[in-house]
Amino acid sequence: MPACVEILEAAVEDSFKRLIQPSVEREIRNRLTEMAEEQAISVFSENLRNLLLQPPLSGQKILAVDPAFRTGCKLAVVDETGKMLDINVMYPTAPRNDVEGAERLVLSFINKYGVELIAIGNGTASRETEQFIADVIANNNLDVPYIIVNEAGASVYSASELAREEFPDLEVEERSAVSIARRVQDPLAELVKIDPKSIGVGQYQHDVR
């Protein structure tokens, strides 16, 4: 009967649009989300494992540089055991561009403490700071190499309760410079102080529930 057909068609269309289609979409979306989260966790765990198992460069006195523009580049010298020996700030980049003063400070640290390696954070102003350090080494014929260090999570550690307990007399930025140096000496010992999500080696790990 025509009337029944119309009613059945309307019922089927309504059930599909209101119930079946949304249910199927939710099921597909949930499955895709699960797959994405599994992939995110896999990528994050593998990257984190590789980062934590980086070979340490122990037994070296390190001058760490935490680059910045306006607030200056924070310097920290640590001994072979990771103990902080000295800390200061230089302004070789804009807006101050105090290249001569910064060079004198770097050379004084190298000569005073017998620095064997310079570690430069890869954050803001890293390229400009790297060029400055390279020029200092070349201009003074220094036998001191430098490396670029991934500083992801250093600011999180620097503002943490643990960092305040370790270095109660230092500013947040100064603690970050010390952390950069220690990451070179013993990556595992330093990175375990940071919430894994903040180390910056994952793929949407903050969105995984």
What Rg do the C-alpha atoms of the chain give, in angstroms?
A: 27
- Taking phi over 0 as left and psi of -120 to 50 as alpha, with beta for the rest, 46 belongs to alpha
Predicted pLDDT at 1: 61
* Nearest to 129, CA basis, from 87, 93, 80, 101: 93
182 confidence band (pLDDT: 50, 70, 90): very high
pLDDT band at residue 207 using 50, 70 and 90 as cut-offs: low
Angle, nearest 10°, between helix axes 126-139 and 99-113?
70
150: tokens are 């991934």
For the stretch 131-177, pLDDT in tens is 999 999 999 999 999 999 988 878 788 888 888 898 898 888 889 99
User: pTM to 2 decimals?
Assistant: 0.79
More confident residue, 10 or 190: 190
What CATH topology corresponds to 62-197? Answer: Nucleotidyltransferase; domain 5 (3.30.420)
Q: Which helix (H) or strand (E) holds 194?
A: none
Each domain of the chain, given as residue ranges in start order, spans 2-53, 62-197
- Token digits of residue 23: 């249910």
DSSP state for residue 19 in the 8-state scheme: I
Residue 51 three-state SS: helix
Residue 118: CB atoms within 10 A of its CB come to 25
CA distance 163 to 102: 27
Give the pLDDT confidence score for residue 104 in this predicted structure.
98
**Segment 100-138, tens digit of pLDDT:** 999 999 999 999 999 999 999 998 999 999 999 999 999
pLDDT of residue 160: 86
